[in-house]
C-alpha cells in the first residue's frame, strides 16, 4: 500500500496518535479557558472597558444599589443618601479620617437596628490618593465578598485627594460613582436641596 512521502505505516501511526493527543489537549485548554472566562467575566469586562466612562453626569440610571460606600466628612449626607435607596442597602462601607471618625461612628449607630452590615476604614493619610485608593479597594473587596451585589461609591465627603483615590478604586472595581450636590446653611448641608449626581456609571 502506497503511503504519502513514502513514510511507513509505523510513522503514520505515531503521527496520528500525536494528532489525537494534541487535539485532546487543545479541547481541554478551550474548556478550561471558557470556565476561567466565565468565572472572571467581571474582571475581564473591566479590563476591556478600562478608562472608559459610559455615562457621566445627570441623574443615576439606577439607584437600587445593594452596597453603598462613602468618603465621610459628616453623617447627614450619607444617611440622607441611604434613605433614598429602595430597598435599603444590605451593606454600607465608610472611609473616614481621624477627624471624621466620630461622624463615621454616628452613621454606624444610626444603622445598627436596620439589619445593614456596616464596615469602616480609617485613612491614615487623606492627602495621599494612593493610600485612599488602597484602603477603598480593600473595603470594596471586603464588603462585596460578604454581600455581593450592585454598588456605588459616594465621593462627596472628605478632601479632594480622598475623593480621587476613592473614585479610582470604584472604577477599577467596576462600581458606580456618585456625588451629592446641596446648598449649605452655615457649615451644614441643606438636605431639602440635595440631589444625587452620577459621576460615572459602569456598563451593565
Half-sphere exposure of 13 (CA within 13 A, CB side): 3
Same structural domain for residues 86 and 185? yes
- The Cα–Cα gap between 87 and 49 comes to 29
Q: 21-39, pLDDT tens digit by residue? A: 888 788 888 888 777 767 7
Contact 155, 178 (CB under 8 A): yes
In a domain, 45, yes or no: no
- Domain that includes residue 10, residue range: 4-39
pLDDT of the residue at 58: 59
Same structural domain for residues 86 and 164? yes
Alpha-carbon radius of gyration of the chain: 25
The separation between the first and the last C-alpha atoms of the chain, rounded to the nearest angstrom, is 62
For the chain, how many structural domains are there in total? 2
Q: 66-113, pLDDT tens digit by residue? A: 999 999 999 999 999 999 998 899 999 999 999 999 999 999 999 988
**pLDDT over 90 percentage in the chain:** 50
Q: pTM (2 decimals)? A: 0.72
pLDDT of the residue at 12: 65
Same structural domain for residues 33 and 69? no
Same structural domain for residues 33 and 122? no
CATH of the domain at 142: 3.40.50.10770
The average confidence (pLDDT) of the chain is 84
Same structural domain for residues 193 and 95? yes
pLDDT of the residue at 185: 75
Same structural domain for residues 97 and 157? yes
Instruction: With H, G, I as helix, E, B as strand and everything else as coil, classify residue 127.
Output: coil
pLDDT of the residue at 195: 87
Amino acid at each position: 500500500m502506497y503511503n504519502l512521502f513514502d513514510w511507513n505505516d509505523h510513522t503514520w501511526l505515531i503521527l496520528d496518535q500525536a494528532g489525537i493527543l494534541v487535539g485532546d489537549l487543545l479541547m481541554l485548554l478551550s474548556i478550561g479557558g471558557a470556565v476561567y472566562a466565565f468565572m472572571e467575566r467581571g474582571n475581564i469586562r473591566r479590563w476591556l472597558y478600562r478608562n472608559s466612562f459610559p455615562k457621566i453626569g445627570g441623574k443615576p440610571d439606577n439607584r437600587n444599589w445593594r452596597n453603598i460606600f462613602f468618603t465621610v466628612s459628616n453623617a447627614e449626607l450619607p444617611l440622607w443618601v441611604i434613605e433614598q435607596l429602595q430597598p435599603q442597602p444590605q451593606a454600607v462601607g465608610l472611609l473616614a479620617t481621624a477627624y471624621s471618625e466620630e461622624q463615621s461612628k454616628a452613621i454606624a449607630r444610626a444603622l445598627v437596628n436596620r439589619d445593614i452590615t456596616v464596615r469602616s476604614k480609617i485613612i491614615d493619610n487623606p492627602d495621599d490618593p494612593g493610600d485612599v485608593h488602597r484602603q477603598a479597594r480593600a473595603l470594596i473587596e471586603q464588603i462585596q465578598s460578604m454581600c455581593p451585589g450592585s454598588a456605588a461609591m459616594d465621593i462627596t465627603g472628605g478632601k479632594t485627594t480622598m475623593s480621587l483615590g476613592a473614585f479610582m478604586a470604584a472604577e477599577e472595581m467596576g462600581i458606580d460613582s456618585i456625588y451629592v450636590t446641596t446648598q449649605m446653611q452655615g457649615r451644614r448641608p441643606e438636605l431639602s436641596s440635595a440631589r444625587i449626581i452620577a459621576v460615572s456609571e459602569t456598563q451593565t
